[in-house]
Structure 1
Amino acid sequence: MAPPMRFFSLLLAIPASADILFATSYNDHTVTSLRLEGSTLSVVGKNLDCGSEPTWLTLDKTKSRLYCLNEGWGGNASLTSYQTRADGKLTTLDILPVLKSPVSSTLWGANNERLAVAHYDTSTFSSYDVSNAKDLRLTKSETYTLAAPGPVPDRQEAPHLHDAILDPTRKFLVSPDLGADLLRLYRITGNSWTAITPAKAVPGSGPRHGGFAVHGPNTYFYTVNELSNTITGYKVTYSGSSISFAQILNFSTHGPGGSVPAGTSSAELEISPDQRFVLISSRNEASLTIPAFDGSATTIPSDPIISFAINPASGQLTLTQIAPAGGLNPRGFSLNKAGTLVASALQNDNRVVVYKRDVKTGKLGAVVASATVGEGANNGPNYVLFNDC
C-alpha cells in the first residue's frame, strides 16, 4: 500500500544542491558525516576519534577545520581536531586530553587561533591554542566554586558552565553558568582573556545556552534557561573596556503567560543568521504529534522548536511559532548559513531531521529529509551542524 499523502506533503521542500552536515551521538560514539541532496539525507562517513561521548562541534569554515568535544563520562574527556573535505569525510589531526565534561566551545582571537570551552561538571572555563590544528594546546583555565547551593540545590550544588559565546565586537566572551545563575564574562586582549565581574541571571533559572543579536546601535543577548524553562533577554551596553547586561524580558519558553509540562527541560538556543529571530528547543514535552517517518499511517510524539521575532528597537520578543522538532529530545539543532534550513538532532529517536525554514516569517515548514544517526536505545544524536558557516 502506498504511503499516505500527508507523509509526502512533508517532503515538499527540496534544496537546490547538496549540503554536508556533521552530527555527534553518544550511543555509537561517532561523528557522523551526512550528505543532504534533494529529499535524501545519507550517511557518508563515521569517525570514532572524538572519544566516548562526542558532543559539541565548532567549525572553522575558512580553514576547513572541525573541532569536537568529548564529555568523557565513559572515559577520558578530549578535544579532537579534524580536516574537513568537500565529500564530508573527516581526517583526524590531533586528539588532546582535557578536563572532564566540556559541553560547548567557540573560536576567538586573531584568525580564530583560540578555542574557548565551557566545562559543565568540573566548573571550569578554559581556552586552547588551535593555531596549529595538529598540535592542540591548553593555554588557560579558571575553575569556580559556590559558597552555598542555589535555589535549585540538586542542580545548583556547584557552578555548571554550559556555553561559550563570542560577542559581536570580538572583545568579550560569555559563558552562561547554569549552577551559579550567572553570565560569566571575559575580556579579550590579543590571544588571552581576563575574567571580569559576571552579570547576574534570574535566580533559579539555570541559564544553559545564549546568543547575541545586533540591530543597528542596539545589541541584545538572550538565554534559554534549563531549570525554569524560560527565555531571558538583556540589553547589552559597551563602555570602553567593559560590557554590561540589563534584563529586558523573562518569560516562558512558550511565550508570555505560557507553560510547559512537568519534567520539561529547555535545551538549545540559536539566533537566525539575519539576527531577526531567536529559536529554542525544548525537551521532554512530547506536546506535538507528527506523521511517522516510516511512511505508515501512524503518528509519533515530538518535542518543539520555538521561534520568536526580535523587535529591533526594544529587543522584546514575539512568539512566532511552536513547531515540531522531528521527534523527542532535540538537545541540539542548527541553521544553515542562509537560514533556509534547520537541522535537528533527536537524541531519543536516533534521528536527524532537516526542515525547510521561511526566512521572511521565521517559521519552520515541511520536512526536507531525515536519517538514522546513532545506534542503541536513547542517547543518540545530540548535536548537528551544517558545514557552511
Structure 2
Amino acid sequence: MAPAFPLLGGIRKRIWMPGWLLFKEPNLLYVVNSIGFDTSLFKLSDHKLNLISSATASEGGVDLEFIHDKTRMVEACYRSGMIDIWDTSKADGTLKYMKSLSPPGKPTPPRNHHRPHQAVLDPTGRFFVVPNLGGDTLVVIDSEDDRYEITGCTTVPANVGPRRVAFIRRDEKLFLIMVGEVSNEVFLYETDYSNDTLQFNEIERQSTYGNSPPSNGSAAKVAELMVSNNQTDVYISNRVTGETTDHIAHFEFGELYMVHIFNT
C-alpha cells in the first residue's frame, strides 16, 4: 500500500504523528500514527530512514510489542479503543493485518470509550497484558497457537485509568506494577497463572508522588513506568501540573511492597 504522506522534508499534506516505534533487527522500524489509521515500516539505510510501506487498521496506535520471535506484533490503539494484531513474519518485514480485538465490558463513566494504552508480553512469551485506561481493566490476550484471543480481564478500582504496566521478579515470584493516569497511583499486583490465563491480585497501592502531592492535583497525569535491570529500582514520570512535582519519581521494590525513595 502506498504511503499517504510524504516521507521526509517539505510540508506534509496529511498530519502524521509518530507516537511509538519498535525496532526489529537488523534495520527495520515499525512506527504508529497516533492520530491516523496507518502503521508504517521504515528501513534504516546509509544512516537514513526510508519508508517502505504502510498498512491500515484501527485508529490511533500508541504502543507496539512483539512476541519473542518477532513474527507477530500487538498494537494498542488508544483513539479507537481497539487492539490490533499484525503478522510481521515476512523476510522484508512487511505488515500483514490479522485481526482486531475490543476490550470486554463497559468503559468507566464519565469516560465513554475503551482506551488501550500499551501491550506488554509476559515472561513466558504467551500472554500480552493491555492496560485499558478507559475501562479500568487489565486485558489479557493469549497468543498460543496463533489464536490471539482475550482470555482474561482484571478490573482495577474505578477511575484509576491504567496507563502503563511492567513485570518485575522477586526470587521465584512474578509481580506486575501498574500506574494509573487518572488517579496518579502506582499499584503492585501478584500474578496468578491459572485457568489458562493470567490474573492479578492487588497487594499495594500508593500515590506516584509519595508524601508530596502537587497543589494542582486535578491536572496531574502520570505517564511512563520503567523497571531497571536490577529488578529493584522503579521509575515513574509525573507530569502536566507545571509544578516542581513534574518529576521522575524513584521507588524501590522490596518484599511485597514499594518504597518511595526520592524525586529526581
Shift, 1:200, TM fit: 1.3
For residue 125 of structure 1, the aligned residue among 83, 88, 93 is: 83
- Verify the 8 A CA contact 1:105 1:163 in the aligned structure 2: yes
Aligned to 2:65: 106
Aligned to 2:236: 280
Alpha-carbon separation, structure 2, partners of 1:208 and 1:150: 14
For residue 191 of structure 2, the aligned residue among 215, 236, 252 is: 236
Aligned to 1:90: 49
For residue 270 of structure 1, the aligned residue among 226, 234, 237 is: 226
Aligned to 1:54: 18
Alpha-carbon separation, structure 2, partners of 1:250 and 1:30: 44
Alpha-carbon separation, structure 2, partners of 1:258 and 1:252: 9
Aligned to 1:67: 30
Aligned to 1:305: 248
Aligned to 2:124: 169
- The code of the aligned residue for 1:279 comes to Y
Alpha-carbon separation, structure 2, partners of 1:268 and 1:51: 25
- The code of the aligned residue for 2:239 comes to R
The TM-score, its normalising length taken from structure 2, stands at: 0.87
The TM-score, its normalising length taken from structure 1, stands at: 0.60
- The code of the aligned residue for 2:231 comes to Q
Which structure ranks higher in relative contact order (CA pairs < 8 Å, sequence separation ≥ 6)? 1
Shift, 1:128, TM fit: 0.3
- The code of the aligned residue for 1:83 comes to K
Shift, 1:88, TM fit: 4.8
- Verify the 8 A CA contact 2:140 2:197 in the aligned structure 1: no
SS of the aligned residue for 1:267 comes to coil
Alpha-carbon separation, structure 1, partners of 2:47 and 2:164: 27
Q: Pairwise mapping of residues 1-389 of structure 1 onto structure 2 (< 5 A)?
A: 52-60=16-24, 62-72=25-35, 76-84=36-44, 88-108=47-67, 111-132=69-90, 133-144=92-103, 147=106, 150-151=108-109, 153=110, 156-239=111-194, 241-255=196-210, 257-260=211-214, 261-262=216-217, 263-288=219-244, 303-311=246-254, 313-314=255-256, 316-323=257-264
Shift, 1:321, TM fit: 2.4
Shift, 1:176, TM fit: 0.4
Shift, 1:99, TM fit: 1.3
SS of the aligned residue for 1:121 comes to coil
Moved over 6 A (4+): none
SS of the aligned residue for 2:231 comes to coil
Structure 1: any 5+ residue segments left out of the alignment? 1-28, 32-44, 289-301, 324-389
- Verify the 8 A CA contact 2:80 2:115 in the aligned structure 1: yes
- The code of the aligned residue for 1:58 comes to L
SS of the aligned residue for 1:112 comes to coil
More deviation, 138-147/94-103: 138-147
Alpha-carbon separation, structure 2, partners of 1:190 and 1:65: 26
Deviations 1:292-332 (A, max 9, x none): xxxxxxxxxx8211111111x32x11112211xxxxxxxxx
- Verify the 8 A CA contact 1:252 1:258 in the aligned structure 2: no
SS of the aligned residue for 1:190 comes to helix
Deviations 1:62-104 (A, max 9, x none): 33322111022xxx4211122235x753232221122111111
Aligned to 1:9: none
Alpha-carbon separation, structure 2, partners of 1:251 and 1:134: 42
- Verify the 8 A CA contact 1:219 1:236 in the aligned structure 2: yes
Aligned-pair identity in percent equals 25
Alpha-carbon separation, structure 2, partners of 1:137 and 1:184: 23
Alpha-carbon separation, structure 2, partners of 1:88 and 1:286: 37
Alpha-carbon separation, structure 2, partners of 1:116 and 1:194: 12
Shift, 1:145, TM fit: 6.5
Distance 1:80 1:305, change over 3 A: same
- The code of the aligned residue for 2:117 comes to H
Alpha-carbon separation, structure 2, partners of 1:185 and 1:221: 13
| Number of residue-to-residue matches in the alignment | 254
Deviations 1:238-286 (A, max 9, x none): 237332211011111112x442323111111111133222211111123
SS of the aligned residue for 1:63 comes to coil
Alpha-carbon separation, structure 2, partners of 1:274 and 1:79: 33
Alpha-carbon separation, structure 2, partners of 1:307 and 1:84: 35
Alpha-carbon separation, structure 2, partners of 1:169 and 1:240: 15
Give the structure with higher Rg (CA).
Answer: 1
CA RMSD of aligned residues (A): 2.6
Shift, 1:287, TM fit: 2.6
Alpha-carbon separation, structure 1, partners of 2:103 and 2:138: 13
